[in-house]
Amino acid sequence: MFEVLEANNLAPDVRYLRVRAPKIARRRKPGQFVIVRASSTGERIPLTIADADATQGWIALICQGVGKTTRQLNTLGAGDRIPDVAGPLGMPSRIERYGNVVVIGGGVGTAIAYPTAAALKQAGNRVVAIIGGRSREYVILQQEMQAVSDEVYPTTDDGSLGYHGLVTDKLADLIATGPPIDLVLAIGPIPMMRAVADLTRPHHIETVVSLNPIMVDGTGMCGGCRVEVGGETRFACVDGPEFDAHLVDFDLLTRRNRAYRDFEQRRLEEWETAQAGISQ
Amino acid sequence: MNELTRKERMQLSRVTMPEQDPDSRRQNFTEVNLGLTPELAIEEARRCLMCRRPVCIDGCPVEIRITDFIGLVAEGEFDQAAKVIKEDNSLPAICGRVCPQENQCEGACVLARKDKPIAIGALERFVADFERDHNLMAAASPIPRTGRRVAVVGSGPAGLACATDLARFGHDVTVFEALHELGGVLVYGIPEFRLPKEIVRTEIAQLEDMGVEFVTNAVIGMIDSIDDLLGEEGYDAVFVGVGAGLPRFPKIPGENLIGVYSANEFLTRVNLMRAYLADSDTPLLELRGRNVAVFGGGNTAMDAVRTALRLGAAQASIIYRRSEQEMPARLEEVHHARQEGVRFRMLAIPVEFLGNADGFLKGVRLQRMELGEPDEGGRRRPVPVPGSEWLEDVDVAVVAIGNSPNPLLGKTAPDLEETPWGTLVTDEATGRTTKEGVFAGGDIVTGGATVILAMGAGRTAAASIHEYLRTGVWDVPDEPVEVPG
């Protein structure tokens, strides 16, 4: 069992969970994830390690409540326990001295991008962060990003915070007016990552995305997380989760992520009904 | 009891394993075979000719003293029989259920030539179940501790067998399992209707009683490397029994459509994650009323296709590239599958999966094969028949054409030498790898094989780990002779 040490909401339906996991905290590298099971009948879901402290022995998970499992996790508070946390899994982010790096986080994607941004900064890169959300309350980790970036541009669809527009609009500005960009790391909803890839492709800017397919074991055993990159089948859990954005088949990823939509919807409704019953 | 003459024994006929009726079992996940009654077990044991040179034992990978235990069964000394089996096999309740007996002990039995062999597997299972059901499993007697620590990586058959023997030698054993539940392929792969999980749990509980420690959610290679285990974690030796866990796909168009599962994924969702139960949060595509095609002819393929039937598939087919004779599955599984209504399509391979606009599988293009010359293994090689392609409707496809070794651990231990197939190089007689203090066995060494072979390899390694810990001598296997030119 893994104890939750601290928990608080970063945005509507987005929760920060600090979890005691000393071994994982020591071993993890930026870009890696854990597989979490929220209950004894629960499914296994991947969550990227958003932060960790090796000396204090914790890892941080930032979880967006979209289905039953993530909603369930988001009810946890300090002192609660998570039955299973396995990791670190996946290949770490490639950390090099690229030069001028733009890190883009869309919604909860900012949490996934944050540790890699910090490592890129530490490796001597100039780091510019674009962190987007629908409106101001959905933009997360602004302060944390500020601490590890040379510049941070919050963007909101409604203009309630920072730049009024999409992250790609801001990126287009930077491409047009800023110094040449050596690497773009984009993590967020699939349409956002695809839009970033489409934007940087004609400029030949190396672009990396972190993919979030459905997983079961997370160790390469089941192949459920198959993605196509450059026409080749890869397992996101062991070959990724980060891939060359210009080679990813986003259509396939989108379709495969919808495989169990009906089931997920049903489970969520059942769970919400049960929760409503409890709270009455 | 009256002694029977050899002739009298030979006139008795093999008892039939009681089993659930095919029509009802097709709708549930409880065990198909119900097990022998004590009366049936004694009746069957009395058929044994008690050969002076029992060839059945030669056929057993772990050389159980078969005639000795069967003799005890014939006398009704079931608990004694269990003790005899356990001297050589620590997991008889499992092996009695899943061993391919027809290729091993029962295949070697002299009665197999005349009539039907002794039902050795059924008797082994009976004895083990009797012991468990009557709480006769011997409490572990205190063993003098050696103070030496061994890490066992993987809690499947190889790891469990290795851990058992190491614990008996008095070593402190920690078993690391990557998943959240212990048992490896015994829990994620083999379905409940063939091997109830409760049996695996009981066996593991016994190991815990012996002092073996189990750590779940521990993906060795990621959380600790083998060097970490031997270094800062303070283990004196490591046994690697991580299995062959990287599913193979046929590499044909459309194989990433929704509805094309690896057998590992399909079975893991159902068995480990219990997608067949209403309260499981792990989904599986709806199979009720659907066409399910399983590609492959091994036990995993049989497990998958019979699982599909139980989940309501309107049609569940095995599609295999060779003929039925070449299928590697246990005879009993093929027989059970057929009884349950599985359709067998021999001599065909998939060449393309076809889907709809939403990316869901809808059909498969198949090609007819014919058998050509025998291959290295002696089985006739399937050859595609040109111009013989045809289309079939399929909603869900399960690919059960084997697994490659999972490279995850090897990547973090570059000094563990691998074969070109990704399996670990070991000395067969000792299980020693190319890295001092590290031993390996099971599918990670042989590629996909059987539970009993993995257990045998686990035991071999345990003996040589014990030897290594006792003497401190690491015998480097002889260098291969260099062939000039």
Each domain of chain A, given as residue ranges in start order, spans: 2-89, 100-257
Query: What's the burial of B442, exposed, middle or buried (CB within 10 Å: 0-12/13-18/19+)?
Result: buried
Same structural domain for residues B393 and B256?
A: yes
Q: Do B281 and A43 touch (CB under 8 A)?
A: yes
pTM: 0.93
Contact yes or no for A244/A210 (Cβ under 8 A): no
Which of the listed residues B402, B434, B450 is the one where a domain comes to its end? Answer: B402
Comparing alpha-carbon positions, the chain A residue that sits nearest to B269 is A216
The reported pLDDT for the residue numbered B61 is 84
Rounded to 5 degrees, what are φ and ψ at B233?
-80, -15
Classify residue A80 as left (phi > 0), alpha (psi -120 to 50) or beta: beta
The reported pLDDT for the residue numbered A28 is 95
pLDDT band at B481 (very low <50, low <70, confident <90, very high): very low
Identify whether B269 is part of a domain.
yes
Q: Do B258 and A259 touch (CB under 8 A)?
A: yes
Choose the weakest-confidence range: B137-141, B184-188, B399-403: B137-141
Identify whether B219 is part of a domain.
yes
Side chain identity, residue A269: E
Name residues 35-74 of chain A within 8 A of B (Cβ): 37, 39, 41-44, 68-69
The reported pLDDT for the residue numbered B484 is 43
Domain boundaries A100-257, CATH class: alpha beta
- Looking at the 3D structure of chain B, how many domains does it have? 3
Same structural domain for residues B445 and B360?
A: no
Question: Which residues of chain A fall short of a pLDDT of 70?
Answer: 279-280
Identify whether B51 is part of a domain.
yes
Does any CB of chain A come closer than 8 Å to the CB of residue B178? Answer: yes
B258 contact residues in A (CB cutoff 8 A): 255-256, 258-259
Alpha carbon of residue B384 to chain centroid: 31
Choose the weakest-confidence range: A182-191, B36-45, B328-337, B407-416: B407-416
Interface mutation target, options A217, A250, A269, A272, chain B, most CBs of B under 10 Å: A217
Same structural domain for residues B254 and B238?
A: no
Neighbours of A179 (CB within 10 A): 10
- Given a cut of 70, whether residue B477 has pLDDT beyond it is no
Same structural domain for residues B427 and B372?
A: no
The reported pLDDT for the residue numbered A4 is 96
Q: Average pLDDT of B285-308?
A: 96
| Euclidean distance between CA atoms A22 and A25, whole angstroms | 5
pLDDT band at B140 (very low <50, low <70, confident <90, very high): low
Question: Mind listing the pLDDT tens digit for each residue in B205-224?
Answer: 989 988 999 999 999 999 99
Q: Average pLDDT of B419-430?
A: 91
Does any CB of chain B come closer than 8 Å to the CB of residue A136? Answer: no
**Residue A240: partners with Cβ closer than 8 Å, 6 or more residues away:** A90, A91, A210, A211, A227, A234
The reported pLDDT for the residue numbered B483 is 44
Which long-range contacts link B33-37 to residues 24+ away (Cβ below 8 Å)?
Answer: B33/B97, B33/B122, B33/B125, B35/B122, B35/B125, B35/B126, B35/B129, B36/B119, B36/B122, B36/B123, B36/B125, B36/B126
Contact yes or no for B229/B413 (Cβ under 8 A): no
The reported pLDDT for the residue numbered B407 is 80
Q: Do B178 and A217 touch (CB under 8 A)?
A: yes
B393 DSSP β-pair partners: B363
The reported pLDDT for the residue numbered B62 is 84
Contact yes or no for A90/A31 (Cβ under 8 A): yes
Q: Do A88 and B280 touch (CB under 8 A)?
A: no
**Residue B198: partners with Cβ closer than 8 Å, 6 or more residues away:** none
A48 DSSP β-pair partners: A33
| Euclidean distance between CA atoms B344 and B355, whole angstroms | 23
Instruction: Tell me the shortest Cα–Cα distance from A90 to chain B, in angstroms.
Output: 9
pLDDT band at B478 (very low <50, low <70, confident <90, very high): low
| pLDDT > 90 in chain B, percent | 76
Does any CB of chain A come closer than 8 Å to the CB of residue B215? Answer: no
**Residue A109: partners with Cβ closer than 8 Å, 6 or more residues away:** A186, A187, A188, A189, A192, A210
Same structural domain for residues B87 and B182?
A: no
Q: Average pLDDT of B465-483?
A: 73
Question: Mind listing the pLDDT tens digit for each residue in B83-108?
Answer: 999 988 888 999 899 888 888 999 99
| Euclidean distance between CA atoms B60 and B104, whole angstroms | 6
Both structure tokens of B355:
């889907």
Same structural domain for residues B341 and B459?
A: no
CATH architecture for residues A2-89: Beta Barrel (2.40)
B174 DSSP β-pair partners: B151, B213
Average pLDDT of the residues of chain B:
92
The reported pLDDT for the residue numbered B485 is 40
| Structural domain boundaries enclosing B166 | 149-245+405-471
Nearest by CB to B283, from A220, A256, A260: name it: A260
- Which H or E element spans position B391? strand B380-393
Does any CB of chain B come closer than 8 Å to the CB of residue A255? Answer: yes
C-alpha R_g of chain B: 23
Q: What does DSSP say about strands A2-11 and A81-82: parallel, antiparallel, or unpaired?
A: antiparallel
Nearest by CB to B217, from A43, A85, A220: name it: A85
